Structures are given as structure tokens and as C-alpha cells.
């Protein structure tokens, strides 16, 4: 966004669609793969990130495409399970697969992720079984998995709150001395994920202040999917998120979030910086929420289908597929096999979801505090007595 565009966008809001093309990330956006799956010539902005693709060989690129396809399948299954009454809610990541797989694959095992509620692709890359996500939205695991098993924190529904958790954890990493030791298995970075709407929260801004003044090893990853439920970008900010970093005194980068190679390279660069003790980075992944906000939402009430069509042509999975097919890195047989694997995965998680046992009532009282608490104990006893009052 040029200064002229910023000036124009600071005119009083008319609630009309913005004049500029919101689907164009502009010249500041790092992109390696065009929407049609061809490689883009490096620019002054993207060239510094090219070296982060040096060790991405054919096998790694096949791995990326496999992740994109499997994650999309998990998401479709989550949506279907909700529609069939098996889940209470499902927030779809449709359209954001590359932003998430790029970021997730750039993380090392010791790096810690603080997600919102839509980060199924990051969860996948960190090794969190999709069944755990389904259990949460089925309401049978009380939002729970062991965060430390995969260094993937619990989903956070309170918008922007996880940015503070992430910075706090990153400050702890600093105190533990796990930054800038030069040991690639020890040096640790944190990634905190939020959406475009999250940038309007106080928590987000407070997190950026703490990260900045403490030089914390954290990467803020804003998936700008252009909507915060029914509120478009122009109702969230007048200056795009990546430029916000400037005011906090650390770098901000806009990346094409529908380009898995670019998302990967930019995130790797930011994580390397953080682990080396050089401080935070804010990445804005420019992407699009192709589905509804959640299964409780109907986007036809507030956005025009022509906008969705424009973004369909920028589809992140098709883009990588086209690129690898053209380069001869995958062929139709390989794709068929991965789609069969995706179907098998979907069958597995569907079965797991449908057969998850309901938890005992007492369980919801067990993890409120780490230690026993008299008030919680009293409430648990009252609830048990209430339940015991039912015949069946
Ligand atoms: C503190 C807080 N305020 C309001 C809400 C209700 N809410 C749920 S999702 C959402 C929009 C978030 O938009 P964005 O950050 O762009 O993330 P996206 O859903 O697009 O991924 C809001 C306002 C909430 N969960 N938490
Ligand atoms: Mg959003």
C-alpha cells in the first residue's frame, strides 16, 4: 500500500467497498509463485528470502503439497461432521492452507506455537492429531490436549489474547537462555497467530510493545483473511498490519499467504532472526477466508460472491499443484495416491470422532486450577448432587 493509498483510505468510512483492489497485495508483498502456478521473478523485496528455499528440494516440495491436500481434507471433514450434528462448531481454514503449512513447516520442534482457533494447518505440521481438534469442537475434551507434547498451545477463542501468551512464553525462553546459543537444537522461537481482526485488540498491541522492548524471540503471524466475521479490513485498520511493526520498532513483512513457498521462506527468516536473539518480526500473510467465518455464519449476508470468485482463482492448493505438475515434480499417479491417503485420513478421523466417549461430568472441574481449590471443589460437589437427581 503506497502512502497515497493510505491517505485515501483514511477518508471517513462510507461503508462502501474500498476503491482499491483488496485482492492485490501490492509491490511490498513477497511472492514466489503466481496464482497460475508459475514462478515469479524475484524483486527487491522478495530476493532476500530466496536463500531460505535453498534446501527445499523436490521431496520437501512434495511434502508441502501433501500437507496442503491433507489439511484441506481434514477441514472438509470437520465441516461435514458439524453439519451432520457430530460437532458443535467448526471454523474452516479453507483458503488459508498455504499460509499455515508454510509457517508450520518453517518451525523447528522446539519452537512453540500459540494459535487462535483456525490454525488446523499449523496443528497438523506440529504433529497434533486432527482427532484432538475434533474432540474440542465436539466438546468432549474440554479444549484440551497437552500443549507440551507438540509445543502447540491450546486454541484460544478470546481474540488476540494468545499474542500476550506467546510473548510471555518468549520472554521465558530468554530467561532460560535458550536464545542465541548457536545450538540449532536449543535456540527457540515462538509463533503467535492471529487474524486481521485480532490486530484491533488491545492485547495485540500490548503484546507488540512487550515483544519490542524486551527483544523477545517471537514471530507475530497475522493471517489477513480480509474478514473478521462480517467486518472487512477497512473496519479494522487504515494501515495494513505489516506496516504496524514499524511503529513498534521491529520489521514487518507482507507475504502472499496463498503461496506456500513464500510463506515458508519468510517465516523461516523471521524464526532464524528470533532464535539468534535479533528480536521479533511481524508477518502479515495476505490471504482469504473462502468459507464462512464458522459453521454458525452465513457470509452471503455481507459479502459479494464476485469477491470470493477472484480469490478462488488464487487458490493456494491448486497453485502448488500446478507448479509441481509443470515442473514434473509430481504426476497424476502421485496426486491420486495422496488423494486416496486423504480419504483414508478422513475416514479415520470421522470414525474416531463418532466413537469418542463423553467425558465424566467431574472432569470439567479438574483442570480449572493446577492445584485443588475449595470453591471449585464445592461447585463440583453441587453439580454431582444435581446430576445424581436425574433418574436416567
Ligand atoms: C475478545 C473477543 N471479542 C470478540 C470475540 C468474538 N469473535 C469471534 S471471532 C471474531 C473475529 C475475528 O476475526 P479475525 O481476527 O480476523 O480472525 P478470523 O476469524 O478471520 O480468522 C470475533 C470478533 C471474541 N471471540 N473475543
Ligand atoms: Mg480475519
Q: What percent of the chain has a predicted confidence (pLDDT) above 90? A: 89
Check whether 91 has a pLDDT greater than 70.
Answer: yes
The 10s digit of each residue's pLDDT in 38-88 is: 999 999 999 999 999 999 999 999 999 999 999 999 999 999 999 999 999
Are residues 218 and 262 both part of a single domain?
yes
Q: Tell me the ligand closest to 96's alpha carbon.
A: 1
Q: Residue 257 falls within a domain, yes or no?
A: yes
pLDDT at 205: 98
Query: What confidence tens digit (pLDDT) does each residue in 2-26 have?
Result: 555 555 555 544 455 555 677 899 9
Which ligand 1 atom minimizes the distance to the CA of 158? 26
Cell of 110: 522446539
Q: How close is the Cα of 287 to the center of ligand 2, in Å? A: 9
Within a domain: 3: no
Q: Does residue 12 form part of some domain?
A: no
Identify the DSSP state of 279. -
User: Across all residues in the chain, what is the average pLDDT?
Assistant: 94
Residue 16 has a pLDDT of: 56
244 is a domain residue: yes
Give pLDDT, residue 267.
99
High-pLDDT (> 70) share of the chain, %: 95
Structural domain including 372 reads 361-392
Q: Using 50, 70 and 90 to split pLDDT, how confident is the model at 302?
A: very high
Residue 242 confidence (pLDDT) above 60: yes
When pLDDT is cut at 50, 70 and 90, the band that residue 34 belongs to is: very high
> Ligand 1 pocket: which of 95, 200, 229, 292 to mutate (most atoms <8 Å of CB)?
229
In a domain, 13, yes or no: no
296 & 374 share domain: no
Does residue 323 surpass a pLDDT of 80? yes
- Protein residues placing their CB within 5 Å of the ion ligand 2: 195-197, 225, 228
| First and final C-alpha spacing in the chain | 62
Q: Whose CA is nearest to atom 11 of ligand 1?
A: 228
Q: What is the CATH number of the domain that holds 94?
A: 3.40.50.970
How remote is the CA of residue 160 from the centroid of ligand 2, in Å?
Answer: 11
pLDDT of residue 6: 54
11 belongs to a structural domain: no
Cα(125) to centroid(ligand 2), Å: 21
- The predicted pLDDT at position 7 comes to 52
Phi, psi of 229 (to 5 degrees): 50, -110
Is the dihedral angle over the CA atoms 158, 163, 169, 172 positive or is it negative?
negative
21 vs 384, more confident:
384
Answer yes or no: do 303 and 392 share one domain: no
Count of structural domains, the chain: 2
374 and 234 share a domain?
no
Q: Are residues 253 and 377 in the same domain?
A: no
Closest-lying ligand 1 atom to the alpha carbon of residue 201: 1
Instruction: Work out the pLDDT band at 92, boundaries 50, 70, 90.
Output: very high
What distance in Å separates the CA atoms of residue 273 and residue 61, rounded to the nearest whole number? 24
User: If you measure from the C-alpha of residue 229 to the centroid of ligand 1, how many angstroms do you get, rounded to a whole number?
Assistant: 7
- Same domain, yes or no, for 260 and 373? no
Which atom of ligand 1 is nearest the CA belonging to 294?
A: 19
Average of per-residue pLDDT across 112-134: 97
The whole-number pLDDT of residue 10 equals 53
Q: Locate the ligand 1 atom nearest the alpha carbon of residue 118 and give its number.
A: 21
C-alpha cell at 129: 492429531
Whether residues 284 and 193 share a domain: the answer is yes
Same domain assignment for residues 294 and 366 = no
Q: Please identify every residue annotated as catalytic.
A: 289, 293, 302
Residue 14 lies in a domain: no
Per-residue pLDDT averaged across 217-225, rounded? 98
pLDDT band at 194 (very low <50, low <70, confident <90, very high): very high
Residue 366: its pLDDT value, please?
A: 87
The answer to whether residues 147 and 218 belong to one domain is yes
Pair 161, 307 in one domain: yes
C-alpha cell, 381: 460437589
- Indicate if the pLDDT at residue 166 is higher than 90: yes
In-domain check, residue 96: yes
Q: Are residues 329 and 384 in the same domain?
A: no
What element of type H or E holds 231? strand 231-232
Q: How many angstroms separate the alpha carbon of residue 353 from the centre of ligand 1?
A: 26
Beta partners for residue 191, in sequence order: 113, 219
Proximal ligand: closest to the CA of 204 = 1
pLDDT at 17: 54
Task: Pick the ligand that lies closest to the CA of residue 116.
Answer: 1
Q: How confident is the model at residue 116 (pLDDT cuts 50, 70, 90)?
A: very high
Average pLDDT rounded to a whole number, residues 289-309: 96
pLDDT band at 144 (very low <50, low <70, confident <90, very high): confident
Q: Are strands 231-232 and 227-228 parallel, antiparallel or unpaired?
A: antiparallel
CB 372 within 8 A of CB 379: no
**Sequential DSSP letters for 13-75:** P-SSPPSS-TT---TTEE-SB-TTSPBPPP-TTTGGGGGGGTT--HHHHHHHHHHHHHHHHHH
Q: Are residues 90 and 114 in the same domain?
A: yes
Give the residue, out of 22, 157, 159, 193, with the most ligand 1 atoms within 8 A of its beta carbon, to mutate for a pocket test. Answer: 159
Amino acid at each position: 500500500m503506497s502512502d497515497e493509498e493510505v491517505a485515501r483510505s483514511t477518508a471517513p468510512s462510507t461503508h462502501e467497498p474500498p476503491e482499491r483492489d483488496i485482492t492485490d497485495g501490492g509491490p511490498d508483498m513477497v511472492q514466489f509463485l503466481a496464482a497460475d502456478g508459475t514462478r515469479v521473478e524475484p524483486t527487491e523485496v522478495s530476493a532476500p528470502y530466496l536463500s531460505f528455499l535453498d534446501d527445499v528440494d523436490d521431496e520437501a516440495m512434495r511434502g508441502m503439497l501433501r500437507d496442503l491436500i491433507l489439511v484441506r481434507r481434514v477441514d472438509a471433514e470437520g465441516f461435514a461432521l458439524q453439519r451432520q450434528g457430530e460437532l458443535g462448531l467448526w471454523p474452516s481454514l479453507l483458503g488459508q492452507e498455504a499460509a499455515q503449512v508454510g509457517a508450520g513447516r518453517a518451525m523447528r520442534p522446539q519452537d512453540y506455537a500459540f494459535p487462535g482457533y483456525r490454525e488446523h494447518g499449523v496443528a497438523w505440521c506440529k504433529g497434533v492429531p486432527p482427532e484432538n481438534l475434533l474432540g474440542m469442537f465436539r466438546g468432549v475434551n474440554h479444549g484440551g490436549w497437552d500443549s507440551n507434547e507438540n509445543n502447540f498451545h491450546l486454541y484460544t477463542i478470546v481474540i488476540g489474547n494468545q499474542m500476550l501468551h506467546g510473548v510471555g512464553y518468549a520472554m521465558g525462553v530468554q530467561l532460560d537462555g535458550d536464545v542465541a546459543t548457536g545450538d540449532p537444537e536449543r535456540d527457540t522461537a515462538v509463533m503467535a497467530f492471529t487474524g486481521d481482526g485480532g490486530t484491533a485488540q488491545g492485547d495485540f498491541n500490548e503484546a507488540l510493545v512487550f515483544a519490542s522492548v524486551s527483544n523477545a524471540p517471537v514471530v507475530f503471524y497475522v493471517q489477513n483473511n480480509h474478514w473478521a466475521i462480517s467486518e472487512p479490513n477497512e473496519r479494522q485498520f487504515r494501515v495494513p498490519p505489516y506496516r504496524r511493526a514499524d511503529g513498534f520498532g521491529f520489521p514487518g513483512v507482507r507475504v502472499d499467504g496463498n503461496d506456500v513457498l513464500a510463506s515458508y521462506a519468510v517465516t523461516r527468516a523471521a524464526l532464524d532472526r528470533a532464535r539468534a536473539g535479533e528480536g521479533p518480526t511481524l508477518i502479515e500473510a495476505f490471504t482469504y477466508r473462502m468459507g464462512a467465518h464458522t459453521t454458525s455464519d452465513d457470509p452471503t449476508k455481507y459479502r459479494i460472491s464476485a469477491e470470493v470468485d477472484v480469490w478462488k482463482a488464487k487458490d493456494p492448493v491448486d497453485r502448488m499443484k500446478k507448479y509441481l505438475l509443470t515442473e514434473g515434480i509430481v504426476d497424476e499417479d502421485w496426486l491420486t495416491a495422496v488423494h486416496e491417503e486423504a480419504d483414508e485420513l478422513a475416514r479415520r478421523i470421522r470414525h474416531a470422532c463418532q466413537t469418542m466417549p463423553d467425558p465424566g461430568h467431574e472432569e470439567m472441574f479438574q483442570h480449572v486450577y493446577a492445584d485443588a481449590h475449595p470453591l471449585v471443589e464445592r461447585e463440583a460437589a453441587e453439580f454431582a448432587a444435581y446430576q445424581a437427581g436425574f433418574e436416567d
